[in-house]
Chain A
Amino acid sequence: MSVSTASYVVWGAIGALVVLLWWLSYVRPSAVAHPADVVGKVATHPLGRVVLVVGFMWLGWHLFAR
């Protein structure tokens, strides 16, 4: 397996893990929080909500403008 393929496999595994947690948040909500609840938790934290919004603004600028 090439280095490039291995890198993409890890990215794919991370993506699959996100999908798995998303699914678990529906079938076992007491064990895994729903993504919206995670966002709500951060968005209602005094410092977390600032980091969340500024980080999200930066992400958009980085992905689409620069």
Chain B
Amino acid sequence: MRAGPAALLVGGSAYSLIAAATTPFTLPADVLTGVAIVGLAVLVIVCWPLHPRPARPARPAPGAHPYVPWLVVLVVFVAWELFDYLVHGSRADHPTFSSITEANDRFYILKALLFLGWMAAALVIVRQGSRRKARRG
């Protein structure tokens, strides 16, 4: 593993372990989550072009709609989340995505992994929208 990604992994893991030790609705949780959010905002401002060129799939086939399956999953996810949120009944009977992740937060290591995954996904977002990627489109 190269030094850059390795340092990112070690640093991100350490930060996630510290952040996972905080309790929601407290100042430490606000600060540690807020710093990561501000970091994402700074990276987006620095790395993303003001006027991006739309990206295209790497190997588009004639008549293919490779994004449609993901759109369908997103619609199903949102519909089921809204149903669980709005339907009458207890949260135990109708768990939302949030309530499932709250249950996950009871386990320190799972919460740390979730935090690390969230930060890693943020890096993927920054990378995919960066100038280098945008030019490729």
Contacts and interface: CB of A to CB of B under 8 A. Distances in A.
Contact of B94 (A7, A39, A57): A7
Contacts, number: 141
Query: Would you call the interface of chain B mostly helix, strand, loop, or mixed?
Result: helix
Interface in B98-118: 98, 100-101, 114-115, 118
Interface string A18-36: 1001001100011111111
Q: Chain A: interface secondary structure?
A: helix
Contacts of B44: 53
Contacts of B125: 39, 43, 52-53, 56
Interface of A: 2-4, 7-8, 10-11, 14, 17-18, 21, 24-25, 29-41, 43-46, 49, 52-53, 56-57, 59-66
